[in-house]
Structure 1
Amino acid sequence: MTRHLSPSITLALSVAALALSGCGDRSDPSDPSATPTATASAATGIAWRRGDVTDAFAEAQERGKPVLLYWGASWCPPCNQLKAGLFRNADFIGRTRDVVPVYLDGDTLGAQAWGERFGITGYPTLIVLRPDRSEVTRLSGTGDPVQVTAALDAVHRGSADIDTLLRRVRTTPGALSADDWALLAGYGGWYDPARKASAGAALGALADAAPDPRLQRQFLLQAQAVANEDAPPLPPERAARLRAALATVLRDPAEVRANRAALTYGAVALARAAAPQDAAARQRTGDAIVAALDPLFGDAKLVASERLASTVAAVALFRDRAGEDAPVPAALRTTVRDRAAWADRSVTDAYARQAVISTAAELLEEAGDAHGAQRLLTAELKRSHTPYYYMPALAELAEARGDRRQALDWLRRGYATAEGPASRVQWGVTYVEGLLRLSPDDRATIERATGDVIGELAGQPEGYRQRTRLRLEKLGKALAAWSVRHRGGETLARLRAAGAQRCAGQRDPQAAAACRDWLPAAGGTTV
Structure 2
Amino acid sequence: MNPMGRALLLSGLLLMVAAASAATPKTGEDGIRWFSGSVDEAFAEARRQNKPVFLYWGAVWCPPCNQLKATLFKNPAFIRKTRLFIPVYLDGDTEAAQKRGEQFGVLGYPTLILFTPEAEEITRLPGGMRMERYPEVLDLALARVKPVSRLLNQVLDQGKAPSPQELHLLAWYSWSQDGGKALGKRELTQVLKTLAALVPESMPREKARLDAQYLSALATRQEPPSASEKKDAVERLQKILTSKDAIQDNFSFIIYGLDTLVPRITGPGSAARQGLMHSWDKSLSRLQDDRDLDAARTLLVYDGRLKWLKMAGQPIPETMKNEIRSAVQKARSQATMGHERIAVAHAAYEVLKDSGQLNQAEKLINEEMQAGSNNQYWMLVLADLAEESGDESEALTWYARAWEKSTGAATRIQWGSYYIRQLTETTPGDDQRIIAVSKALFAELGKQKTPFHGRSRRALERVFKALNAWGQVSSPSELIEIKRAFINTCLPFGKEVMGRCESIMKAS
TM-score normalised by length of structure 1? 0.86
Q: Between the two proteins, what is the percent identity of the paired residues?
A: 31
Residue of 75, 79, 98 corresponding to 2:65: 79
Residues 114-513 of structure 1 correspond to what in structure 2 (within 5 A)? Answer: 114-170=100-156, 175-194=161-180, 198-211=187-200, 212-228=203-219, 234-235=225-226, 238-272=229-263, 275-276=266-267, 278-279=269-270, 281-322=272-313, 327-487=315-475, 489-506=476-493, 509-513=495-499
Please tell me whether the aligned partners of residues 284 and 305 of structure 2 are also in contact (alpha carbons under 8 angstroms): no
One-letter amino acid of the counterpart of residue 486, structure 1: S
Partner of 1:21: none
Q: Structure 1 residues 327-336 or 406-415, which shifts more?
A: 327-336
Q: Structure 1 residues 48-57 or 156-165, which shifts more?
A: 48-57
1:111 and 1:416 map into 2 onto residues whose CA distance is: 22
Q: Structure 1 residues 469-478 or 412-421, which shifts more?
A: 469-478
Deviation at 1:445, TM superposition (A): 0.9
Q: Structure 1 residues 385-394 or 248-257, which shifts more?
A: 248-257
1:180-215: CA deviations, max 9, x gaps?
Answer: 122112211324443598322221112111122332
Change (3 A) 1:299 1:505: farther
Deviation at 1:486, TM superposition (A): 2.2
Partner of 1:104: 90
Please tell me whether the aligned partners of residues 5 and 265 of structure 1 are also in contact (alpha carbons under 8 angstroms): no
Runs of 4+ in 1 over 6 A off after TM superposition: none
Change (3 A) 1:79 1:178: same
Change (3 A) 1:217 1:456: same
One-letter amino acid of the counterpart of residue 376, structure 2: Y
Deviation at 1:126, TM superposition (A): 0.8
Change (3 A) 1:51 1:208: same
Change (3 A) 1:353 1:495: same
Please tell me whether the aligned partners of residues 99 and 454 of structure 2 are also in contact (alpha carbons under 8 angstroms): yes
* Other structure's SS at 2:122 match: strand
Query: Alignment length, in residue pairs?
Result: 499
Deviation at 1:303, TM superposition (A): 2.1
Q: Structure 1 residues 171-180 or 198-207, which shifts more?
A: 171-180
Deviation at 1:163, TM superposition (A): 1.6
Q: Structure 1 residues 196-205 or 218-227, which shifts more?
A: 196-205
1:444 and 1:271 map into 2 onto residues whose CA distance is: 47
Residue of 13, 32, 40 corresponding to 1:46: 32
Please tell me whether the aligned partners of residues 151 and 185 of structure 1 are also in contact (alpha carbons under 8 angstroms): no
- Segments of structure 1 that go 5 or more residues without pairing to the other structure are 18-32
* RMSD over aligned Cα atoms: 3.0
Deviation at 1:115, TM superposition (A): 0.5
* Other structure's SS at 2:175 match: coil
2:8 and 2:248 map into 1 onto residues whose CA distance is: 17
1:505 and 1:68 map into 2 onto residues whose CA distance is: 36
Change (3 A) 1:15 1:159: closer
Q: Structure 1 residues 308-317 or 409-418, which shifts more?
A: 308-317
1:275 and 1:365 map into 2 onto residues whose CA distance is: 29
Q: Structure 1 residues 194-203 or 391-400, which shifts more?
A: 194-203
* Other structure's SS at 2:187 match: helix
Deviation at 1:172, TM superposition (A): 6.3
2:331 and 2:427 map into 1 onto residues whose CA distance is: 36
Partner of 2:46: 60
TM-score normalised by length of structure 2? 0.89
1:316-375: CA deviations, max 9, x gaps?
Answer: 2333443xxx84233433333332333333322321222232232222222121111111
Deviation at 1:131, TM superposition (A): 3.0
1:41-73: CA deviations, max 9, x gaps?
Answer: 9x9821112461111011011112221111100
Please tell me whether the aligned partners of residues 140 and 148 of structure 1 are also in contact (alpha carbons under 8 angstroms): no
Deviation at 1:491, TM superposition (A): 2.1
One-letter amino acid of the counterpart of residue 296, structure 2: S
Change (3 A) 1:377 1:359: same
One-letter amino acid of the counterpart of residue 198, structure 1: E
1:368 and 1:330 map into 2 onto residues whose CA distance is: 11
* Other structure's SS at 1:70 match: strand
